[in-house]
Amino acid sequence: MKVQVKDLIRVYKLGDVEVQALRGLNLDVEVGEIISIIGPSGSGKTTLLNIVGGLDRATAGLVQVGDITVTSLENSHLIDFRRKNVGHIFQNLNLIPTLTAAENIELPMIAVGTSRGLRHKRVDELLNTVGMVDRSNHKPDELSGGEQQRVAIAAALANDAPVLLADEPTGELDTATAKVIVDYLLIANRELGKTIIMVTHDSSVARAAHRILKIEDGSIKAALTPAQVTEDETALSYVDQLRARINDITEQLANLDKDFRAAKIDGDEYTSKRQSLKQTKAGLEEELHRMGVVT
């Protein structure tokens, strides 16, 4: 199913403060396409998926999934849309801890009123699809992270929704396990024809898609082919963290100067603290340079 996003805006109000999570975002995903979305933390990736999936509402703009205008749906219809048209996979919080793998896969089908017989047949099929037949009676905490995500993929496929949304589906997994999860998403795309929008920090995961879109400050800033995605693209969040720590230390240094001038600390303390902060800052700057960032 085709997904179209036009001029999407989402503003969150926190008391008097407004946070613009999405600032006129445009996106077109073709039927049967798999796209990756990369971008720094806080750039609006989760907000985008949540609005497309009917978990959150837009402030303005349009989301169209197939022939359904999601942004115009009333709340009651939105729930129905969500159950039937999208499968949503998250980094964690996918599974109900008290239910077995099989029961977790069955749950979305209960919500849409699928008959018991059909449900059980489908659970068996899906356990097979994700290679979890011999783990069907295990509860989530008796499964590895990768196995849990395989169950989550099966649950997302349960109602045969045409669109899969995956928000950091490999976030806490090691590289080898992440690859297994991506392979199952690729099976869902190629063999079951699912249209997939996947958010990831991992460049090797991102490269599995047909197209990679880079989001920054709430809108799409670039479209890349898998070959164009280098480690640097997804390393952005790490660079952001380094920059934030450097800014933080710069501020601490300024405060230290103030304290010394106001005679709140003596010369020895000032010198030693200043020395240590300067050293840490230099180390962080060196790390930034190693990553090819010019400061």
Judged by CB under 6 A, the residue of 5, 8, 21, 165 near ligand ADP is: 21
Position 12, amino acid: Y
Binds 200: which of Mg ion, ligand ADP, none (CB < 5-8 Å by kind): none
Tell me which long-range contacts 228-235 makes (C-beta under 8 A, separation of at least 24): 229/38, 229/203, 230/203, 231/203, 232/291, 232/292, 233/38, 233/203, 233/206, 234/38, 234/200, 234/201, 234/202, 234/203, 234/206, 235/203, 235/291
Q: Is 46 in the site for Mg ion (CB under 5 A)?
A: yes
Residue type at position 161: A
Q: Is the Cβ of residue 140 or residue 169 nearer to ligand ADP in the bound state?
A: 169
CB of 187 vs ligand ADP, minimal distance in Å: 26
* Distances 234 to 46, 108, 204 between C-alpha atoms, Å: 16, 33, 9
Q: Which does 12 bind (CB under 5 to 8 A by kind): Mg ion, ligand ADP, none?
A: ligand ADP
Closest of 208, 86, 202, 95 to residue 147, by C-alpha: 95
Site residues for ligand ADP, window 39-78 (CB under 6 A)? 39, 41-47
Q: Which of 19, 31, 79, 254 binds ligand ADP (CB under 6 A)?
A: 19
User: Does residue 159 belong to the site contacting ligand ADP (CB under 6 A)?
Assistant: no
Q: Which residue shows structure tokens 């992440």?
A: 178
| Per-residue binding letters, 187-206, with ligand ADP (x by CB under 6 A) | --------------------
What residues line the site for ligand ADP (CB under 6 A)? 12, 14, 19, 21, 39, 41-47
What residues line the site for Mg ion (CB under 5 A)? 45-46
